[in-house]
Copies of this chain bind each other. A is one copy, B any other.
Amino acid sequence: MSHTAELIAVGTELLLGNIANTDAQMLSQGLSALGINVYYHTVVGDNPQRLRAAVEIARRRADILITTGGLGPTCDDLTKNVLAKCFGRPLVRHEASARRIEAYFRSIGRPMTENNYQQAMLPEGCTVLDNDWGTAPGVAFEADGVHVVMLPGPPRECRAMFQYRVAPYLRACSDGAICSRTLRIFGMGESLVESMLRSQMNAMQNPTLAPYAKEGEVELRITAKAGHEQEARALIAPVEARLRAQLGSAVYGADVTSLEEVVLPLLKERGLTLGCAESCTGGLIAKRITDLPGASAVFRGSVVSYATPVKHTVLGVPQALLEEYGAVSEPVARAMAEGARRTLGCDLAVAVTGVAGPDPDERGNPVGLVYLALAAPDGTTVKRTRSGGVRERIRTLAASGALDLVRRWLSGAPLEETGTEPSE
Report the minimum CB–CB distance from A257 to chain B (whole Å): 10
Given A212-B13, A390-B156, A343-B314 contact (CB < 8 Å): yes
Task: Across the interface, name the chain B residue whose C-beta is closest to A311.
Answer: B301
Among A262-306, those with CB < 8 Å from B are 273, 276, 278, 280-287, 289-291, 293, 295-296, 299-306
Q: How far is the CA of A388 from the CA of B109 in the complex (A)?
A: 11
- B-chain residues with CB within 8 Å of residue A50 when the two chains form the complex: 39-40
The yes or no answer to A12 lying at the interface (CB within 8 A) is yes
A357-B293 contact given A28-B16, A110-B421, A113-B191, CB 8 Å threshold: yes
- Taking a contact as CB atoms under 8 Å apart, the answer to whether B344 and A314 are in contact is yes
A348 CB to closest chain B CB (Å) equals 14
Give complex CA distance A124, B307 in Å.
Answer: 54
- Report how far A50 CA is from B58 CA in the complex, Å: 13
Whether A21 contacts B18 in the complex (CB less than 8 A), given A40-B54, A306-B290, A392-B291, comes out as no
With A213-B154, A421-B110, A424-B72 as known contacts, state yes or no: A304 contacts B282, CB within 8 Å: no
A93 CB within 8 Å of chain B: no
Q: A residues engaging B (CB < 8 A)? A: 12-22, 24-32, 38-45, 47, 50, 54, 57, 72-74, 108, 110-111, 113, 115-116, 134-135, 154, 156, 180, 182, 189-192, 194-195, 198, 210-214, 219, 221, 273, 276, 278, 280-287, 289-291, 293, 295-296, 299-307, 309-310, 313-314, 343-345, 356-358, 388-393, 395, 421-422, 424
